[in-house]
Amino acid sequence: MRKKIVAGNWKMNLTLEEGIKLSSEIKDFVKNNPLDNLPGKPEVLMFTPFIHLTAVAENAADVQGLGAGAQNCHTEEKGAFTGETSAAMIKSTGAENVLVGHSERRSYFGETDQVLAQKTEIALKHALRPVFCCGEVLDERNAEKHFDVVKEQLEKGLFWLSEDEFAKVVIAYEPVWAIGTGVTASPEQAQEMHAYIRKIIGEKYNATVANNTTILYGGSCNAKNAAELFAKEDVDGGLIGGASLKADDFCTIIKSF
Ligand code: 13P
């Protein structure tokens, strides 16, 4: 059975002190509400800025089902890339996850499908689990190109992986028009795209791989709408931005399966 996941993407928010406080509040919640006893038995991840990562990963280490991740990594092993952070460095903090291809990385930092394929490769090489983001902009949806756009992102970013490698990846569908806008995809829109993603994974690999792939929804998912999104058959949890910055809201989302 595929894993359910609730993941917070803190983006470029919170000082170190604020981030440690938030992760401690989430940890306390998870200690008091063992994830295996909650509906869906979700895994809970915190994607933090690099500055926070060591402390948050250490904080999460002794709690079953709680983990940390980085929001990005560089394509190269190491070297003269001032300001960048490698997959090996991330792994050395104790974090086990990394976001790849968030739409903000694609649009503000020019990350191409080819670069994202390289990031996926180096993440897997260092035993980091890539959470690979995909999703269309509003014009593409209005032009009814959203399925084609997502298919191309997955084909170029991921579908060159072997079956064993692909099995280690989590996908996050994040329609760009829903990110930070307060406009959420309807549960039906999310389900339709998630089912499509699962279908093309089945065509590329096989039904077992497709069934076992965790596909998260992201984009204005919050404490009020998470339950109806997570109720959909192919929505295996969420990648949460704004609502992950408040412990109460995030913990409500964790309980929304
Ligand atoms: P919001 O939840 O703030 O819309 O952000 C979603 C997101 O980009 C998560 O990666």
Cα 166 to the chain's mean position, in Å?
15
Distance 217 CA to ligand 1 centre (A): 9
Residue for token pair 């929804």: 217
Nearest atom of ligand 1 to the alpha carbon of 239: 9
Cα within 13 Å of Cα(216), Cβ side:
33
Ligand 1 close to Cβ of residue 221 (< 6 A)? yes
| Cα separations in angstroms, 3 against 40, 78, 135 | 8, 32, 21
Does ligand 1 lie within 6 Å of residue 210's CB atom? no
Helices (H), 61-101: 87-92
Strands (E), the chain: 5-9, 43-48, 66-70, 97-100, 129-134, 170-173, 215-218, 237-240
pLDDT one-digit tens code per residue, 68-92: 999 999 999 999 999 999 999 999 9
pLDDT in the model for residue 76: 98
Both tokens of 157, joined, read 């970013």
What is the pLDDT confidence band of residue 93, given thresholds at 50, 70 and 90?
A: very high
Answer with the residue of higher pLDDT: 232 or 1.
232
**Distance (Å, whole) CA 118 – CA 2:** 26
Q: State how far the Cα of 45 lies from the Cα of 62, in Å rounded to an integer.
A: 14
Which of 12, 133, 239 has most ligand 1 atoms within 8 Å of its beta carbon, as the pocket-test mutant? 239
Cβ(238) – ligand 1 distance below 6 Å: no
The answer to whether 179 and 107 are in contact (CB under 8 A) is no
Q: Is 179 in the pocket of ligand 1 (CB under 6 A)?
A: yes
Mutate to test the pocket of ligand 1, among 5, 6, 11 (most ligand atoms within 8 A of CB): 11
pLDDT tens-digit series, residues 158-200: 999 999 999 999 999 999 999 999 999 999 999 999 999 999 9
What are the residues facing 212 on neighbouring strands? none
* Rounded mean pLDDT, 233-251: 98
Query: Among candidates 143, 167, 168, 166, which has minimal Cα distance to 155?
Result: 166
Residues 6+ apart with CB under 8 A from 80: none
| pLDDT tens readout for residues 53-71 | 999 999 999 999 999 999 9
Residues 111-162: tens digit of each pLDDT: 999 999 999 999 999 999 999 999 999 999 999 999 999 999 999 999 999 9
Residue 1 pLDDT exceeds 90: no
Q: How far is the CA of 181 from the centre of ligand 1 (A)?
A: 9
Catalytic residue status for 174 = yes
| Interatomic CA distance for residues 243 and 52, integer angstroms | 18
Spacing, Cα 198 to ligand 1 middle (Å)? 22
Residue 173, φ and ψ in degrees, nearest 5: -90, 115
Q: Please identify which of the residues 52, 102, 146, 194 carries the catalytic annotation.
A: 102
Whether the predicted pLDDT of 14 surpasses 90: yes
Look at ligand 1, atom 1, and give the residue with the nearest C-alpha: 241
CA distance linking residue 232 with residue 188, whole number of Å: 8
Ligand 1 centroid distance, CA of 9 (Å): 7
> Per CATH, the architecture of 5-72+84-254 is what?
Alpha-Beta Barrel (3.20)
Give the dihedral sign, CA 133/243/215/140.
negative
Please, which residues have CB within 8 angstroms of residue 92's CB and are 6 or more apart in sequence?
A: none
pLDDT band at 48 (very low <50, low <70, confident <90, very high): very high
Tell me which of 48, 100, 133, 220 to substitute to probe ligand 1's pocket, judged by most ligand atoms within 8 Å of the beta carbon: 220
Domain boundaries in the chain?
5-72+84-254
Which tokens hold the place of 25?
Answer: 């509040």
| 222 CB within 6 A, ligand 1 | no
